[in-house]
Structure 1
């Protein structure tokens, strides 16, 4: 039996089969990737294809002996679905595609995904990038998020939608792309260096004080 995350697989309720979750940055997928996912599901007679909250497609019901060949057939790397790491960066279409977008959420989200997806941390961390205040990337319940507004990015921290939901708090406003990325990096590094094992950003803030996190972010 594989451990959760080993070979990019997660044991299912039947204690016999596994789910794998290909990494689809920002939920963007090509027709060729869709065909490969469908072909793998058919080839290995899987139980289901499930769109996840991280805007990925989970292939559910693989036998352990089929996992390696399924990944080879897909040709797509695994998504960080479990473990103490940056699990996902979720982004809306932003002003690239959406008529309501005020900032470029896709370009910003792609940059953050390339920098941080799978980064090992003391606790899990989820990120969101929304191109306007409607927050279609659910930024308000992310550990770290960016919200696009007319004058720039609003950076929020400390949200989550787990068993004890909480809304993120505003840390800075009217940031340029460069400022938003730099501040996000300082926050993640500070969290990496100072959080306790298993601690989410919100509880970390409660323990150290929001003002101390803000001071580190603005340094």
Structure 2
């Protein structure tokens, strides 16, 4: 048997407007469910709800019209089927992610793998306030990382190599207008470059190459009554170190924040550079 009190504490009671009814959220990993899992969820919806599911903005599946006295039975059945509950309250919430490089032509980073790792290691851990993490595979930012407490998007930082033929393919493909070709040499404005890597893909002469790949990291974003855009604090961390850096951010947040304070509010109080330096100190090798 699952520990009902602990499950309800983390999942929360999503009370409906209608007295005696609650909603239940089932977690996905990066928005993905297998067809078998979908059938199980549909069966639960028919059995405990009214046959209609809702997909939340954080990629969870919500069953409405669950009678409150049947909640514990439903939670047990969700557990027995190997499904996961979404998380609410002052803790790491369900991680959302785009399909990443596994499916998307523009994808630079493996967001689905990272989401699975974070789900295993961090989702549900208690913190001063609720903490949303969003992962995008490229600077198009489909998962909206800039409006999450912690947001990452994939980047490819370009560099100039020899062999430019002056075809201007890199210039024509750069939506950020960060490249100019002068005397057969591409010049990249690092202040304009967003790290999409399209110039690298478009160059037939391989005169623009990848200097490094990884994630840009934003902190402090949120929506709600007082929206905030996150601040980019790291431009290109190695992809394989993403979990390490996210854990460092959570550790600093847990140490420096007041109870109930979101990351963005804490940063506003102590300053983004102080917050950033604390993270860098945390991630420096001993």
- Into which bin does the TM-score normalised by the smaller protein fall? over 0.9
Change (3 A) 1:156 1:72: same
Q: Residue 145 of structure 1: which of 144, 148, 151 is its match?
A: 151
1:36 maps onto 2:40 in alignment: yes
Deviation string for 1:100-123 (max 9, x for gaps)?
A: 101111111211222111110011
Q: Residue 85 of structure 2: which of 73, 78, 92 is its match?
A: 78
Q: Secondary structure at the match of 1:192?
A: helix
> Which ranges in structure 2 are unaligned for 5 or more consecutive residues?
157-212, 282-286
Change (3 A) 1:179 1:40: closer
**In structure 1, C-alpha distance between the alignment counterparts of 2:21 and 2:29, rounded to whole Å:** 25
**Structure 1 position 176, deviation (Å):** 0.6
CA contact 1:91–1:105 (8 Å) conserved in 2: yes
1:214 maps onto 2:276 in alignment: yes
Q: Residue 198 of structure 1: which of 230, 247, 260 is its match?
A: 260
CA contact 2:152–2:217 (8 Å) conserved in 1: yes
**In structure 1, C-alpha distance between the alignment counterparts of 2:19 and 2:254, rounded to whole Å:** 33
Deviation string for 1:68-120 (max 9, x for gaps)?
A: 2223333223110x211111211100001111101111111211222111110
Pick the structure with greater CA Rg: 2
Within 5 Å, give how 1:52-63 maps onto structure 2: 52-63=56-67
Q: How many residues align?
A: 216
- Residue number in structure 2 paired with 1:125: 131
Deviation string for 1:147-172 (max 9, x for gaps)?
A: 10113210110101111111111101
- Residue number in structure 2 paired with 1:18: 22
**Structure 1 position 144, deviation (Å):** 0.4
Q: Decide which moves more: 181-190 or 127-136.
A: 181-190
Deviation string for 1:165-216 (max 9, x for gaps)?
A: 1111110112112333222111101111221111111111011111111011
Q: Secondary structure at the match of 2:85?
A: coil
> Which ranges in structure 1 are unaligned for 5 or more consecutive residues?
none
**In structure 2, C-alpha distance between the alignment counterparts of 1:133 and 1:174, rounded to whole Å:** 12
- Residue number in structure 1 paired with 2:31: 27
**Structure 1 position 6, deviation (Å):** 4.2
Change (3 A) 1:46 1:7: farther
Runs of 4+ in 1 over 4 A off after TM superposition: 4-7
- What is the TM-score when the length of structure 2 is the normalising length? 0.71
- RMSD, aligned CA: 1.8
Q: Decide which moves more: 177-186 or 98-107.
A: 177-186
